[in-house]
């Protein structure tokens, strides 16, 4: 009986404030490889992106925990000494866990990390061995504006960074990693469950 009461007390506010978020926007990345010897840069084109997230309260404070998945897909642009070209596209799937807290008014900060999966449409170039996973950290701000009692408009701005490499790069003697930075701007809806 005591356990059931405790569960109800805990579940009540959780159920009341748990939200889901659906967003769409664009992601822009720096070069996945900036090859100083071959004078070649490999960079995903700016890509449309969609994301889904669930946001949970962490307790009595104003902080929230957000679990988010994002999908973006872009062709790979090559430029440098061998000319310019557009290679097969690569899907970039991110799975993130973020902490979120207040800044001021409708603006909240976000900070977290997770994994980014690069899934190429063709086994080609640096992705000739197929999919690769990298760890990433991310941070940003989100602005919200209530639309109704259950719905909120959200605008997210995010910066993230990772150390990029693939097994093909390592096999061919690229022993270090390329620092990659990405910027994401998303607009969407948050709905209370």
Count how many residues are written for the chain.
193
- As given in the structure block, the two tokens for residue 4 are 């059931």
Residue 121: partners with Cβ closer than 8 Å, 6 or more residues away: 88, 89, 90, 91
39 by DSSP, 3-state: which? Answer: coil
Q: Does 104 bind other proteins (CB under 8 A)?
A: no
- As given in the structure block, the two tokens for residue 53 are 């997230």
Residue 61: partners with Cβ closer than 8 Å, 6 or more residues away: 101
Q: Does 179 bind other proteins (CB under 8 A)?
A: yes
- For residue 79, count CB atoms less than 10 angstroms from its CB and return exposed for 0-12, middle for 13-18, buried for 19 or more: middle
Number of CB atoms found within 10 A of residue 115's CB? 13
- Number of shown-chain residues binding other proteins (CB under 8 A): 42
163 by DSSP, 3-state: which? Answer: strand
Least separation, in Å, of the C-beta of 42 and other proteins? Answer: 6
Q: Does 115 bind other proteins (CB under 8 A)?
A: no
- As given in the structure block, the two tokens for residue 30 are 């720096």
Q: Does 15 bind other proteins (CB under 8 A)?
A: no
* Stretch of 18-26, 59-67, 143-151, 175-183 lying at the interface with other proteins (CB under 8 A): 175-183
Least separation, in Å, of the C-beta of 183 and other proteins? Answer: 10
Nearer to other proteins, 95 or 177 (CB): 177
Nearer to other proteins, 3 or 81 (CB): 81
151 by DSSP, 3-state: which? Answer: strand
Q: Does 154 bind other proteins (CB under 8 A)?
A: no
Q: Which of residues 41-100 bind other proteins (CB under 8 A)?
A: 42, 78, 80-85, 87
Q: Does 34 bind other proteins (CB under 8 A)?
A: yes
Q: Which residues bind other proteins (CB under 8 A)?
A: 30, 33-40, 42, 78, 80-85, 87, 109, 111, 124-126, 128, 137-139, 159, 161, 164-165, 168-169, 172-179, 181
């Amino acid at each position: 009986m005591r356990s059931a009461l405790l569960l109800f007390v805990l579940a009540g506010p959780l159920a009341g404030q748990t939200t889901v978020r659906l967003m769409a926007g664009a992601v822009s990345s720096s070069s996945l490889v900036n090859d100083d010897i071959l004078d070649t840069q490999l960079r995903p084109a700016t890509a449309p992106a969609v994301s889904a997230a669930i946001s949970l309260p962490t307790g009595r404070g104003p902080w929230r925990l957000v679990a988010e998945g994002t999908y973006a897909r872009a062709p790979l642009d090559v430029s440098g000494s061998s000319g310019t070209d557009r290679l097969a596209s690569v899907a970039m799937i991110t799975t993130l866990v973020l902490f979120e807290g207040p800044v001021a008014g409708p603006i909240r900060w976000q900070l977290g990390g997770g994994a980014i999966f690069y899934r190429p449409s063709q086994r080609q170039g640096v992705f000739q061995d197929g999919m690769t996973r990298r760890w990433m950290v991310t941070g940003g701000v989100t602005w919200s504006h209530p639309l109704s009692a259950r719905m909120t408009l959200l605008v997210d701005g995010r910066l993230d960074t990772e150390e990029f490499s693939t097994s093909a790069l390592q096999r061919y003697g690229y022993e270090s990693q390329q620092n990659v930075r990405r910027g994401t701007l998303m607009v969407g809806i948050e709905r209370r469950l």
